[in-house]
C-alpha cells in the first residue's frame, strides 16, 4: 500500500503520483489546492432560489437608490429656484392699522390733573392797630381822617395782601380805605356822627377798636 497520494490529470484523466508537479503523460501542470478558484456560493449561483432572491433584492435596491437620488436632485433645484426668485430679501408682512373702538372715540380718557401742593398757613401770634408808633387803643374819637397801621407779630412772616382784612361795623359812621401800596395801612374817615367798631384780621388773629366820630 502506497502512502503517496495519487492525483488525476484534469486534461487526460490519467492518475499519477502526487509528488509530481506535471502530468507525466500529457505534461499538463498540476493545479494545487491553494490555487483552485472557489466555486460560486449559493447566493451567487443564479440557478439556485437564494441566488434568484439575491438578484431581485439587488434590483430593488438599485431602483430605490435611483428614486432617492432623483428626489434629492429635485429638492436642490427647487431650493435654488426659490432663492433666485426671492433675491435673498425677506418681504416684511403688511402692518394692519389699529382702528380705535367706538368707546375710545366718544369717551376719551382725560389725563388726571396734578393737584397743587397747598401753601401752609402762617402762624400769627398777634395783630394790633397802631397810630404812629403807639397802639390806637380800645376807644378813640376822631374828627378828621386818621391813618392807622396793622402791626403783625412775628414780623418775619410774609403776608399776602388778600390775607389782611379791614372792616367797619358801620360804614355810615366811619369808612375804611385800605392803601393800594401797603395793605397794612388804612385811613379811617368819618361819615356821620356816632361810633362803630373797626377791626383788622390777619390769618385768624384780629384787633378791634371803638372809633367815635364827631362831625
pTM for this model (two decimals): 0.45
Q: What are the DSSP calls for 100-156, one per residue? A: PPHHHHHSPPPPPPPPPPPPPPPP--EEEEEETTEE--SEEEESS-EEEEEEEESTT
**φ, ψ dihedrals at 201, nearest 5°:** -125, 135
Mean pLDDT of 161-176: 92
pLDDT at 165: 94
User: What are the b/e assignments for 68-90, b being 16+ CB within 10 Å?
Assistant: eeeeeeeeeeeeeeeeeeeeeee
Ranges of each domain in the chain: 1-37, 41-86, 126-213
Is residue 207 within 8 Å of 140, Cβ to Cβ?
Answer: no
pLDDT at 99 over 70: no
Highest mean pLDDT among 117-126, 155-164, 197-206: 197-206
pLDDT at 79: 92
In angstroms, the Cα distances linking 111 to 74, 98, 101, 117, 173 are 63, 22, 19, 18, 54
- What number does CATH give the domain 126-213? 2.60.40.1080
The band of 155, judged by pLDDT with boundaries at 50, 70 and 90, is: confident
User: Per-residue pLDDT tens for 57-90?
Assistant: 888 999 999 999 999 999 999 999 888 887 655 5
Residue scoring higher pLDDT (19 or 51): 19
Calculated CA dihedral for residues 181, 184, 187, 192, nearest 10 degrees: 130
Amino acid at each position: 500500500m502506497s502512502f503517496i497520494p495519487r492525483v488525476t490529470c484534469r486534461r487526460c484523466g490519467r492518475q499519477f503520483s502526487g509528488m509530481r508537479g506535471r502530468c507525466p503523460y500529457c505534461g499538463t501542470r498540476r493545479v494545487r489546492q491553494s490555487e483552485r478558484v472557489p466555486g460560486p456560493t449559493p447566493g451567487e449561483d443564479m440557478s439556485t432560489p437564494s441566488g434568484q432572491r439575491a438578484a431581485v433584492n439587488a434590483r430593488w435596491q438599485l431602483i430605490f437608490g435611483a428614486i432617492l437620488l432623483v428626489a434629492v436632485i429635485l429638492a436642490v433645484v427647487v431650493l435654488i429656484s426659490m432663492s433666485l426668485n426671492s433675491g435673498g430679501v425677506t418681504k416684511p408682512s403688511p402692518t394692519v392699522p389699529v382702528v380705535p373702538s367706538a368707546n375710545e372715540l366718544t369717551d376719551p380718557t382725560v389725563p388726571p390733573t396734578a393737584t397743587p401742593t397747598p401753601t401752609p398757613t402762617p402762624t400769627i401770634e398777634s395783630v394790633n392797630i397802631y397810630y404812629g408808633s403807639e397802639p390806637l387803643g380800645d376807644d378813640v374819637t376822631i374828627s378828621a381822617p386818621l391813618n392807622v397801621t396793622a402791626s403783625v407779630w412775628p414780623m418775619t412772616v410774609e403776608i399776602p395782601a388778600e390775607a389782611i382784612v379791614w372792616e367797619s361795623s358801620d360804614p355810615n359812621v366811619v369808612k375804611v380805605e385800605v392803601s393800594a401800596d401797603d395793605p397794612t395801612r388804612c385811613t379811617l374817615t368819618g361819615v356821620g356822627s356816632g361810633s362803630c367798631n373797626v377791626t383788622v384780621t390777619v390769618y385768624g388773629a384780629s384787633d378791634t377798636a371803638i372809633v367815635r366820630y364827631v362831625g
